[in-house]
Structure 1
Amino acid sequence: MAERVRFKNVLAVREFRAMWLAELCSIAGDQLARVALSVLVFQRTESAFLTGLTYALTFVPALAGGILLGGLGDRYPRREVMVAADLARAVLLGLMALPGMPLAVLCALVAVTTFLNGPFKAAQQALLPDVLDGEKYTAGMAIRNITSQAAQLAGFAGGGALIAAINPPVALALDAGTFLASALLLQRGVKQRPAPASTETRMSFWASSAVGAQIVWRDPALRVLLGLCWLAGFYVVPEALAAPYAGDMGPVAVGLIMASDPIGSVIGGIVFGKWVPESTQVRVIGVLGVLAGVPLVFCLLAPGLAVSMLLFACSGLFATAYNIQGTASFVRRLPDERRAQGAGLLSSGLITVQGLGALGAGLLADQLGPAPAVALAGAAGAVVAVPIAVGWSRARRG
């Protein structure tokens, strides 16, 4: 019961509501755009590799953005960093929506747009503990995860049907509109705060990046939590290969496959965010990292659409459960004056490993087929998660 009240208390915070709604707008638009890009590239090329490459470009460049520009959220007011990134991405998506855009130029614009996601996520993650204190922060993370996955579900499932009815440039234009809405919500709903780092403590971008990495590297718990969250590089593969996995079933099936993981994530966020005590979540996140890979292994049997969706949903459930608490524990351990840089390393690295996972999955799928590639990714993720789980158990006790 206390957990349910905490959810209501979190949603009563005006600033959190603004950040929450802004995130929903941009996520739904992004997922719609990803469906559009996946379908567009696969229709033009019929290549699983090029489809995975394009999907990877919606993730990988955020590494550079998070590392090089993540410190902006420590040097400047975090709300302003988020608003500026939203407006810039709206302009880039507007360019991508222009009719007849060459595929190479489109990919370049996707990469730049993803680059700007790095400083946005760093500032967002760093600002949340100021908006929500104590246990409200963990509950807020659970709410964000539940609703963001629901937005992904709407973007993926509805996106497949929508792309079947409209052309991809229209979907990209809609995504541009979601970034404008997000910027407006943040500007009006989140109050101004000064930059956390004083003029005396500010460093160059390169020096700040090095300090952020050093803080993480010197703390065993932060290192393990980083590795845990980055397991997403293995578990993003079903989404990345949705178009070739669906084969001849059409755009609607592509959207349904992409929606399966978010469905499981919504369930996982509700179960663990509302009913599992935080102390229990902290203990089991390592084991959940292993379990998230197991369902994907069964794709080796090449199941049909319904069974595949169930397997992907189970994987998403476990992955969300460890990600909520893993991210909350990571950000809490960071010092405030370097929180954006550390959070930028986490979020940009997370996006990057997802992109690399998508790229590698495309290569494997061209050689082995989509279903064996998904199964191999699940097995590899579970194996890599074992030492991470052991390391977390040791770091937590120490």
Structure 2
Amino acid sequence: MTNEARRAERAARSGVTAGRPLWRQRDFGFFWLAQTLSVLGDSFSLIALPLLVLKATGSVARMGLLTAVGGVAMVLAAVFAGVVVDRVDRRRLLIGCDLVRMVLYGLVPLVWLAGPHLWLLYVVLPLCEAVGMLFAVGYVTVVRGLVDVTRLTEANGRVNATAAAAGVLGPLGAGLVAAWAGPADAVAVDAASYAVSAALLLFVRVRERTGDDRPAERKGVWRDLRTGVGYLVRHPVLRSVTGLLAVFSFLSLGINDLLIYHLKHDLGRDDGTVGTVMAIGAVGTIAGALLVARLRRRLGFGPTWIGATALCGLAFAGLGWVRTVPAVALLSAVYLACVGMAGTCSMSLRQEITPEPLLGRVTAAHWTLQYSLAPAGAAVLTWAAERYGTAPVAAVAGACCTLIAVAGLGTPIRHAAPRKQLS
């Protein structure tokens, strides 16, 4: 039996079909809903945690420090995440990650009942970011086990679109809850969302890895790590994308803190306005997620990725200069739409061209390298904004992001259809 026939047989047993609409595929549907609800809760913490720090200290640099600490934990976890994902049951791993984050985030509102304790945030956020990295790598491999390979971009786009829709309601709700009851209560909503997500994942059946898809013989953690990095480095497109995204992440990881500080400090707006602007920005993510599959089919991977990255930089550059809330919200929507399109293209490409036994390790290697410099970048960006103002810092960082897209024109990324296998 050929490899194609074996894959078709396994897909049939797991209910994965190329022709059936994604919304009619039971397992993908449950997974889709779980992800949407999880992101709904995440969007509460995305606003609530920086607001807790800003309310207690009034410092954007302290906000950036919290982001940087979380980023360091994420990078460290990414080093080993791929090895773990490629060795364990993926569905159980995702459920466990949800339950751990439920407990950790649930501690914040409980402790805050006795008053602000910023030290707790510097413990909880890094742990949650590390667990979240395990979940994120597992997510990439699970999607490939739920849908046909020809529909990966569509599936990723659909998940990102509905997650972004939840991201519209989340910031609005978080802003209202933070303004009415305080940011700590908004974190409690995030904790509850993880409980619901874990319950839904119990109903998901992921295609078992058999035959060609089974992990190769285990030869030690460090050997496995080198295998993932080696595949990534040898592939010309994946290598180029990872290198450019490492610089992009250095420049942009702190943008959320910068945006909140601009609205609160420069424009004098309240928590409700912050939530509204973030929600409008999430509308851009919806648009990008719904458009990415169509654009990639029409233009190809390279033009879509490069064009989206260029627009990200232009929107970023203007964020600090605009002085009205509608303008800030519009640029935020453009930025998030383009980040979503570029990110979906990048993830789908890795899923398509990486052998499944290596997918977890290659994904982890990609994210380790991509975010290795990002925590330092977040600390530098927010420190510079507090010292020199948000406008010049955003302009410089955005211009550099646009140059990253220009640099992509000189790499194999520019090709519309990268080769699927290494020679």
TM-score, with structure 1 as normaliser:
0.90
> Does the 8 Å contact 2:177/2:183 carry over to 1?
no
Letter in 2 for 1:287: G
Could you say which residue in structure 2 is the equivalent of 1:124?
Answer: 139
Give the SS at the match of 1:293: helix
Structure 1 vs Structure 2 CA RMSD: 2.5
CA distance in 1, matches of 2:415, 2:81: 33
Distance 1:101 1:397, change over 3 A: closer
Number of residue pairs aligned between Structure 1 and Structure 2: 391
Q: Distance in 1 between matches of 2:245 and 2:23?
A: 25
Change in CA separation of 1:389 and 1:27 when aligned onto 2, cut-off 3 Å: farther
1:62-104 deviation line (CA, Å, top 9, x unaligned): 2111212322111111111111111111121122232336211
Counterpart residue number, 1:18:
30
Partner of 2:238: 222
1:336 maps to what in 2? 356
| Alignment map for 1:221-260 (pairs within 5 Å) | 221-227=237-243, 229-230=245-246, 231-246=248-263, 247=265, 248-260=268-280
Where 1:61 maps in the other structure, the secondary structure is helix
Unpaired runs of 5+ residues, structure 1, are 1-5
Aligned CA distance change for structure 1 residues 52 and 258 (closer, same or farther; 3 Å): farther
Q: Is the 8 A contact 1:240 1:361 kept in 2?
A: no
Q: Does 1:160 align with 2:170?
A: no
Q: Which moved more, 1:352-361 or 1:57-66?
A: 352-361
Asked whether the equivalents of residues 69 and 122 of structure 2 are also in contact (C-alpha less than 8 Å), the reply is yes
157-166 or 43-52: bigger deviation: 157-166
1:390 maps to 2:410: yes
For residues 261-316 of structure 1, what are the alpha-carbon distances to aligned partners after superposition, in whole Å with 9 as ceiling and x for unaligned? 3221211222333x435251414122321222112222453431111211221222
Gaps of 5+ in 2: 1-17
Secondary structure (helix, strand or coil) at the match of 1:269 reads helix
Q: In structure 2, what is the Cα distance between the partners aligned to 1:131 and 1:229?
A: 27
Structure number with greater Rg is 2
2:224 corresponds in structure 1 to 208
Residue 263 to residue 60, structure 1, CA distance change in 2 (3 Å): farther
- 1:89 and 2:109 equivalent? no
Change in CA separation of 1:271 and 1:69 when aligned onto 2, cut-off 3 Å? closer
Residue 276 of structure 1: SS of its match in structure 2? helix
For residue 41 of structure 1, the aligned residue among 32, 53, 57 is 53
Say whether 1:108 aligns with 2:128: no
Distance 1:126 1:397 in 2: 21
User: Matches of 1:333 and 1:341 in 2, distance apart?
Assistant: 13
Amino acid at match of 1:217: V
> What amino acid is aligned across from residue 222 of structure 1 in structure 2?
L
CA 340–397 in structure 1, closer or farther in 2 if over 3 Å, else same: closer
> Counterpart in 1 of 2:345?
325
- Secondary structure of 2:203's counterpart equals helix
Report % sequence identity. Answer: 23
